[in-house]
Amino acid sequence: MTLAVSAPTTPQKQKSQRRRPQRADVEAAVRLLIEWSGDDPDREGLIDTPARVVRAYEEFFEGYNTDPAELLARTFEETNGYDDIIVLRNMRFESHCEHHIVPIIGKVHVAYLPAKRVVGISKLARVVEVFAKRLQIQETLTSQIADTIQEVLQPRGVAVVIEASHMCMTTRGIKKPGVSMVTRRLLGEFQSDKELRREFLTSLSMSTRSA
């Protein structure tokens, strides 16, 4: 099998120029929030909570430590002429709303039309995870996944559909449980070819019925 390493222009790494706070300062901030909520951070059940929250945040937001474009750099050209649609359906993801820092939970569907080269499917899932493990809104998450795949792989088209529930809406504020939000981004032939778009969206409805 022929292995190719692509080197197109990639999205710039999102690195903050701000100083990263010390761990002790972050734990102190969590302790302050516990006090502000009305509880005692020194009681037995809460005394280790600040450290636990910091460890949880390291996991929730580990996506800031990875450049998603690099995940797609290794591609394969030996596909025996395969040039049809490639679809990954029902990828579960967990993210956090950048407005309230509460969970967004849902599923992502990703499709692309290869142009001579393909990428390992686990890499597509990793791209989803990297962007999900950041503070997000669903619209931005949808665009980031699609735009990165398009820019790095340069396929004939990319389609991304996300359906998710937002805890900022279901557990607070208007409190509407059971509501889900759907966003999509269609690029290249998925945008221009109505039949291709219909085929992709139909495959998603078939997946929902069989689930």
Walk along the chain (211 residues) and give the pLDDT tens digit of each residue: 444 444 444 344 445 578 889 999 999 999 999 999 999 999 999 999 999 999 999 999 999 999 999 999 999 988 888 889 999 999 999 999 999 999 999 999 999 999 988 999 999 999 999 999 999 999 999 999 999 999 999 999 999 999 999 999 989 888 888 899 999 999 999 999 999 999 999 988 755 555 5
- Tokens for 7? 């080197």
- Residue 14: active-site member: no
pLDDT, position 6: 42
- Residue 166: active-site member: yes
Active-site option among 100, 151, 154, 163 = 100
pLDDT, position 206: 57
Q: In what order do the strands lie in the sheet with 135-136?
A: 135-136, 86-97, 103-113, 157-166, 181-188
- CATH architecture assigned to 23-60: Orthogonal Bundle (1.10)
- Residue 96: active-site member: no
Give the DSSP letter of residue 4: E
pLDDT, position 9: 40
Active-site option among 151, 154, 163, 168 = 168
Class of domain 62-210: alpha beta
Report whether 145 contacts 88 (CB < 8 A).
no
pLDDT, position 80: 86
Active-site option among 27, 129, 138, 189 = 138
pLDDT, position 146: 98
- Residue 151: active-site member: no
- Residue 168: active-site member: yes
pLDDT, position 172: 87
pTM of the model: 0.87
Give me the residue spans of the domains in the chain. 23-60, 62-210
Q: CA-CA-CA-CA torsion for 173, 99, 122, 180, nearest 10 degrees?
A: 20
